[in-house]
Structure 1
Amino acid sequence: MHRIARVAWPVVTALLQGAVSWGVLQYYIPRAIVRWQQAEELRHVGIEPMVIPGLVVFSLAAAFNLWSRLTLAIRGQGVAVLFTPPAKLVVTGPFAWLRNPIATSTIAQGIGVALYTGSALLVSYLALLALGWHLLIRPGSEHELQRRFGRDYEFYRRSVRCWLPMRRRFRPRSALPPIDSSEMLIRHGARRRRR
């Protein structure tokens, strides 16, 4: 019973966090932007709505997002690094192709919404969302993962791209060579200079 609860809690938390994230980032904010755009008669700022491509992109990105969240919850026994950090480093599933599949698929979902609505202002919103995540959230997350998992995370971070999927999936090595402390991440993702 304890083992089931240990797995169930991160899964439930991941699903709730996903629902809140999707509701706020993919529905309420885009809806407000589109309504503002229509109220200000900025219909010319955009493209012709592409309903079917938008739905396809959104659906594929949503499935990838859900897969990523469940993989992190089940294999890592955590949800998000800053809120409920994983107990184990997850380098399988979508994380074998991409370091931040949840953030990437969230942006891809937004692209689907932008195609669906035809709003160019949503693309600006997505660019700000991605930039904010990259500059404000990613450094703290990576620092925490570095602190928790040390050289295993450092090897993974060096091997797998942040935003664009790899051509080949990541395969962890069983024996990692030591990494010099001058090469490890320090606060806010900055590196120490070699002397």
Structure 2
Amino acid sequence: MNSFNKLFKPTKSKNKFWILLKTYLQTSIFWIIFLGIVPFGLIQFESEFFGFIFSPQKIIAVFLFISFSSLALYSAYIMSSKGEGTPLPMDCAVKLVSIGPYRIWRNPMAVSGIGQGIAIGVYYGSVFVIVYAICGALLWHFFVRPAEEKDLLNRFGKSYESYQKATKNWIPRI
């Protein structure tokens, strides 16, 4: 856990355009790997070895995917423009962000990523992809989140502590 905490470094860049560009490049790479390559491989594995893919409501899946993608892009924009950093630990925000989607969830990008993964699983009718997304949520919740929150407490102190008490991880604050 200690070496994981060393990943969190505030960005040194002051150029908001460059921060936003890096954020969208990082987001694109994550999407390609975790919402494209891995689900595609799981779908191929599932259909090859189990010979079935159930047929869910693809319209609902597309709506969910677009909604969660919009949440991710808007969250990334807010993090970059107001937090003056990227969502990645190696180039993280220098200001605490508690507006926009961050007012509703402590990590709307995690919520959106898991939602996107589930939407892909529903679209393709893949139980394996849905389980993969849920496993991603569990990994984030039990391994990444504690390290991230420790870093945020160290950097932002009482401001983050108050924010943490007022805003939930998974359940939206209305």
Identify whether the pair has TM-score above 0.5, normalized to the shorter chain: yes
Aligned residues: 162
User: Which sections of structure 2, spanning at least 5 residues, go unmatched?
Assistant: 1-13
Matched, 1:155 2:166: no
Matched, 1:136 2:143: yes
Deviation of the 1:35 alpha carbon? 0.3
Which of 79, 98, 103 is residue 96 of structure 1 equivalent to? Answer: 103
Deviation of the 1:80 alpha carbon? 2.2
State how far apart, in whole Å, the 2-side matches of 1:41 and 1:109 are. Answer: 24
1:65 is matched with 72
Which of 121, 124, 135 is residue 128 of structure 2 equivalent to? Answer: 121
- Which amino acid in structure 2 is aligned with residue 125 of structure 1? Y
Which of 25, 35, 40 is residue 34 of structure 2 equivalent to? Answer: 25
2:58 is matched with 51
- Which amino acid in structure 2 is aligned with residue 163 of structure 1? W
Structure with a larger share of its residues in helix: 2
Which runs of 4 or more aligned residues in structure 1 lie more than 3 Å from their structure 2 counterparts after TM superposition? Answer: none
1:100-153 deviation digits (Å, cap 9, x = unpaired): 100000011111101110011111101111111111111111011101100000
User: Which sections of structure 1, spanning at least 5 residues, go unmatched?
Assistant: 168-195
State how far apart, in whole Å, the 2-side matches of 1:42 and 1:140 are. Answer: 40
1:108 is matched with 115
- Which amino acid in structure 2 is aligned with residue 48 of structure 1? S
State how far apart, in whole Å, the 2-side matches of 1:166 and 1:14 are. Answer: 25
Deviation of the 1:81 alpha carbon? 5.3
Match of 1:56, SS state, is helix
Larger Rg: 1
TM-score, length-normalised on structure 1? 0.80
Does the 8 Å contact 2:121/2:127 carry over to 1?
yes
- Which amino acid in structure 1 is aligned with residue 49 of structure 2? E
State how far apart, in whole Å, the 2-side matches of 1:13 and 1:60 are. Answer: 22
The percentage of aligned residue pairs carrying the same residue is 29
1:174 is matched with none
Does the 8 Å contact 2:122/2:130 carry over to 1?
no
State how far apart, in whole Å, the 2-side matches of 1:33 and 1:115 are. Answer: 13
When the two chains are superposed, the root-mean-square deviation of aligned CA atoms in Å is: 1.5
Does the 8 Å contact 1:81/1:145 carry over to 2?
no
1:41-76 deviation digits (Å, cap 9, x = unpaired): 341xx5313221111100010000000011000000
Does the 8 Å contact 1:50/1:117 carry over to 2?
no
